[in-house]
Amino acid sequence: MSSALLGLTLSILVQVPWVSGQNFGGSGSTTDGFSWVQPLNTTILGQYGHSPAVYPAPLTTGKGGWEEALAKANAFLMQMTLDEKANFTTGQPGPCVGNTLPIERLGFPGLCLQDGPLAIRVADYSSVFPAGVTIASSWDRNLIYERGFAMGQEFRAKGAQVLLGPVSGPLGRSGYAGRNWEGFAADPYLTGVAMEKSILGIQDAGVQATAKHYIGNEQETQRNPTYNDEGIITFEAVSANIDDRTIHELYLWPFANAVRAGVSSVMCSYNRLNGSQACQNSKAQNGLLKGELGFQGYIQSDWGGTHSGIASVKSGLDMDMPGGLGNYGLINDGHSYFGGNLSIAVNNGTLNESRLDDMVLRILTPYFFLGQDKDFPSVDPSCADLNTFSPRSTWLREWNLTGERSRDVRANHGALIRKQAASSMVLLKNEGNALPLKAPKSIAIFGNAAGDDTQGFYNQVNFEYGSLSVGGGSGTGRLTYMVSPLEAIKTRAAKDNALVQQWLNNTLIATTDVSTLSIPDTPDVCLVFLKTWAEEGADRASLDVDWDGNNVVESVTGFCNNTIVVTQSSGINILPFADNANVTAILAAHYTGQEAGNSIVDVLYGDVNPSGKLPYTIALDSNDYNAPPTTAINTTGIEDWQSWFDEKLEIDYRYFDAHNISVRYEFGYGLSYTTFAITGNITIKAANANARVTALPEDLPVVPGGNPALWETLFEVCATVINNGSTTGETVPQLYLTFPNSTPAGTPPKQLRGFDKFSVTPGQTRDVTFALQRRDISYWDVVLQQWRIPEGDFTVFVGFSSRDLRAAVTLNALSA
Ligand code: NOJ
């Protein structure tokens, strides 16, 4: 940007609404010691790394459908003492991963908060579902909802009011991030849809969803501060330094979908954001979430993510989890920054009671809204036995766990998981119709990911032998069974009376001439099962498959010219063997959950036609990726862990497209056993032919999700898909937008703004309609602090991946 323009921008910026704090809808008291802050030095366009102060915390109004529940919450609040209110906002050691105190005299049972995004982790007789990255690969709204609903049913039946998921932070800025698999896709649009559908599913089952981790939690390294032996911080947590436009168009975007879907809670993250702790960042919490997005629920801290009392409360944090100060907040020893400290603060005038009331109301309203005050199951006592986070020895009170122990909540979910995982598998390569298998008589199985899990059903390490169905950390699940690929293949191959041989030791395979491993003749097919571990608390060291998997493939292909590779992975793998002519097929299964082998066999044998699409890009080389995590610093300043998101909007395919870099398999890519085409032209029509589209949205009162005008459908794009192959299959037509030249610099060349998924029989055509909402065709104008539709022509592409665009049409939104 020229300095002249920068100067002009500066003079405009001093009037922008978020600086003056006028547009957040907050009507909280200003008598609590905080004044509006004019952070002029932080608003210089193009500068970031500082976080403006935004006070006070907006009060909940119940708008958007929670009015009746808020009235019930208010009636309840009126009966509470000050101490009860203060205790309401903090965790306590107890049977669940997070617990709030019951108020017996008012019939309130307390809240049980349980991890996590793919299973109720601290429980027995429950299901392990496909991971976020897996279900995102399905690109199937209905399946994402179905998964959320089934998980919600299990949480409810185990007595957990709150599910700590879904995840849209990390979004996937870097493929190395240790928790990408808990989230969905390296794209805000797809992740936004997945958040919305997951939340609707979970909450329709009567359980509160928690959108996490807010915000900028794009790496695990130094996510928390470093403490010395005296408990003094020597290094603060890494600061994710993100500019205003990038926040809006990438990292906040899926949280907006979450709020719009009525999410009950948002969990603030461990990292700092623009130099301020995420859980006491008033701009992020008061400004963006409760103000701009109109969030009506409560913000809870990640475990130990609270670093202050009053400062966090005034910055919008509503609940301190797990509520302990021991071990720097990670042990819930009952000594909370909140709880009794908030009673003191109200009594000595440091905190206005209206803010405490608002915290309580925000926590209680979703509870009433979801009917959790009626017939909600009690906590299963077996959860308490499995809870290593606050074992019974740490409890400060008796929790009367009188309900049935070890309830089996799995219902028919195994069948759903099998279907969901199979529909999410991404077929990356299929030469000479190697797949589906055609009743092979001799099958050789290789790789340490093929067999049974050898390290227990609650893995928290990268174990060598056994199929990998889920990653590690709080996002894991406790398996009750797991069908390995080997077991499923043996069962299936028996129908063909096939010979199945197996070699599961990667070191042996990689270092041996496979033809000497006493295989009499070349098998009809060699199946190689590889895996890649990822876990909370650590970023990945490499984007390769683990356990020398690349050499395993080399070795097998030296012998077998029909080698099919299946990966069970947390996300991106560089696949150097993809060009090897003897590798005839590659199937990315990701983390499938408990039905690993069955879902893989369904696809390998063609009982399910693969329809998954990549939710990220597979580059040709690891070094082709930008924006790696900040993994080391060589200075000693306490603030020195800084991660500058200088790539701005250019993550994943946005980056590869902007720099014209060839990739192995692009975002949105995935093969089927049939083929599809777009027939005829694509057409666009205005949703309201009589109204001219304005560049700026009408200034409507904010509801959950923000200005409702942003969610209005302005245009409908129609295309026709034909199945021109010979098998029935599901297709995922995708819509990408190229913004007009008038859009500010840094706008990615193409951005996903629509997709659908449906089944088409051979020769059949089906129409698809994409609804373009105002937000979809707007960019965030940092000067106006507003979503703005640019002047000029958009190009609207419809195709089958981000680089397989089959038809295009132009759209001038403002003169349409
Ligand atoms: C820390 C993790 O970041 C969060 O996702 C999880 O819900 C809590 N621990 C509780 O286990």
255 φ, ψ to 5°?
-65, -30
* Spatial CA neighbour of 737 closest among 664, 785, 805: 805
Q: Is 302 annotated as catalytic?
A: yes
Atom of ligand 1 nearest to the CA of 474: 11
Residues 342, 319: contact at Cβ < 8 Å? Answer: no
- Give residue 231's pLDDT: 85
Closest residue by Cα to atom 9, ligand 1, is 303
| Span from the CA of 593 to the centroid of ligand 1 (angstroms) | 19
User: Does pLDDT of 309 surpass 90?
Assistant: yes
- Give residue 331's pLDDT: 58
User: Does pLDDT of 32 surpass 80?
Assistant: no
Tell me the average pLDDT across 366-380.
98
| Span from the CA of 112 to the centroid of ligand 1 (angstroms) | 14
Tell me which of 303, 331, 388, 458 to substitute to probe ligand 1's pocket, judged by most ligand atoms within 8 Å of the beta carbon.
303
- Give residue 335's pLDDT: 79
Greatest Cα pair distance, the chain, in angstroms, is 84
| Span from the CA of 367 to the centroid of ligand 1 (angstroms) | 21
- Give residue 12's pLDDT: 26
| Span from the CA of 269 to the centroid of ligand 1 (angstroms) | 9
Q: How far are the Cα atoms of 93, 648, 765, 774, 780 from residue 249, in angstroms, in the given order?
A: 39, 10, 34, 13, 7
- Give residue 761's pLDDT: 98
| Span from the CA of 116 to the centroid of ligand 1 (angstroms) | 8
Q: Which two tokens stand for residue 776?
A: 């979809």
Query: Which residues on neighbouring strands pair with residue 583, listed in sequence order?
Result: 563
Length of the chain: 816
CA distance 425 to 434: 16
| Span from the CA of 709 to the centroid of ligand 1 (angstroms) | 34
Closest residue by Cα to atom 5, ligand 1, is 474
- Give residue 40's pLDDT: 36
Task: Show the domains of the chain with their CATH numbers.
Answer: 67-394 (3.20.20.300), 426-616 (3.40.50.1700), 674-811 (2.60.40.10)
User: Does pLDDT of 33 surpass 70?
Assistant: no
- Give residue 13's pLDDT: 26
Closest residue by Cα to atom 8, ligand 1, is 303
Closest residue by Cα to atom 3, ligand 1, is 302
Q: For the segment 179-226, what is each residue's pLDDT rounded down to a tens digit?
A: 999 999 999 999 999 999 999 999 999 999 999 999 999 999 999 999
- Give residue 389's pLDDT: 86
- Give residue 24's pLDDT: 26
Catalytic residue among 187, 302, 320, 544: 302
Closest residue by Cα to atom 1, ligand 1, is 303
One-letter amino acid of 402? T
- Give residue 334's pLDDT: 65
Residues 683, 717: contact at Cβ < 8 Å? Answer: yes
In this prediction, residue 657 has a pLDDT band, given cuts at 50, 70 and 90, of: very high
User: Does pLDDT of 43 surpass 50?
Assistant: no
User: Does pLDDT of 174 surpass 90?
Assistant: yes
Q: For the segment 665-678, what is each residue's pLDDT rounded down to a tens digit?
A: 999 999 999 999 99
- Give residue 456's pLDDT: 81
Q: For the segment 431-444, what is each residue's pLDDT rounded down to a tens digit?
A: 999 999 999 999 99
Tell me the average pLDDT across 567-590.
98
One-letter amino acid of 189? Y
List all residues whose CB is within 6 A of at least one atom of ligand 1: 97, 115-116, 164, 212-213, 302-303, 474
Tell me which of 96, 112, 121, 164 to substitute to probe ligand 1's pocket, judged by most ligand atoms within 8 Å of the beta carbon.
164
Decide: helix, strand or coil at residue 808: strand
Q: Which two tokens stand for residue 315?
A: 């910055």
**What's the 3-state SS for 672-740?**
CCCCEEEEEEEEEEECCCCCCCCCCCCCCCCECCECHHHHCEEEEEEEEEEECCCCCEEECCEEEEECC
CA distance 388 to 624: 41
Q: What is the mean pLDDT of the chain?
A: 93
**Burial label, 735 (beta-carbon count in 10 A; 0-12, 13-18, 19+):** buried
In this prediction, residue 519 has a pLDDT band, given cuts at 50, 70 and 90, of: confident
